[in-house]
Amino acid sequence: MTPQEAAKIANTFGERFDKIEEFILTASTRQLQGFIHLIPAHDNIRAFQLARISLNIRLAEDAANTAQKLSQQTEQLVHHSENLTHQTDRLVRETVKLTGFTKWVFWFTVAIAIFAAIQIALMFFEAFHQYQKSPASQQSAVAGVKERSTQTNQTGQ
């Protein structure tokens, strides 16, 4: 039954009030609201009052259901927030560890760079020292060859 049909029955003042009660008990919230707007409050005080009471009960039930859903979702949100807090704490701890590791790697890299610089300096020092020895060695080798050749020349003559 539609709100218009129920209002028409309510406005006829007949023995069909049981149909109006059935409509009021089974109608949706929107249908009850439409029914209330279609009947005059002063002529059908009983139908109007029943419809208002039924509408108020349905609105209260809807509000209670909505409050229950909101409460459940709030509890879920609190649970997720707690999990997020724990994960954030863990992330902070891991970040502190990573920062310490990064500092350790930095100082290790500095030490390796210093060691490499020392190795390069030693290598250049040794190469320079060998270079300085090299002409003297060559001169002594040339002198040795000249001595042998003069000895060979002298013995061969």
The single residue listed with the structure tokens 């009030």 is 17
Q: What is the pLDDT of residue 143?
A: 62
Total number of domains constituting the chain: 1
43: pLDDT strictly greater than 90:
no
Q: What is the pLDDT of residue 142?
A: 56
Q: Can you tell me the mean pLDDT for 24-52?
A: 82
CB-CB neighbours of 121 under 10 Å: 10
Give the residue with greater pLDDT, 141 vs 66: 66
Residues 51 and 24 sit within 8 Å (Cβ to Cβ): yes
How many Å apart are CA 154 and CA 152, to the nearest integer?
A: 5
pLDDT class for 48, splitting at 50, 70, 90? confident
Give the residue with greater pLDDT, 127 vs 139: 127
80: pLDDT strictly greater than 60:
yes
Q: What is the pLDDT of residue 148?
A: 65
pLDDT class for 22, splitting at 50, 70, 90? confident
Domain extent, residue 41, equals: 3-156
Q: What is the pLDDT of residue 4?
A: 82
**What angle, rounded to 10 degrees, do the helices at 3-10 and 29-38 form?**
40
Q: Can you tell me the mean pLDDT for 37-55?
A: 80
Q: What is the pLDDT of residue 140?
A: 59
pLDDT class for 152, splitting at 50, 70, 90? low
Residues 62 and 29 sit within 8 Å (Cβ to Cβ): yes
What is the percentage of the chain residues whose pLDDT exceeds 70?
81
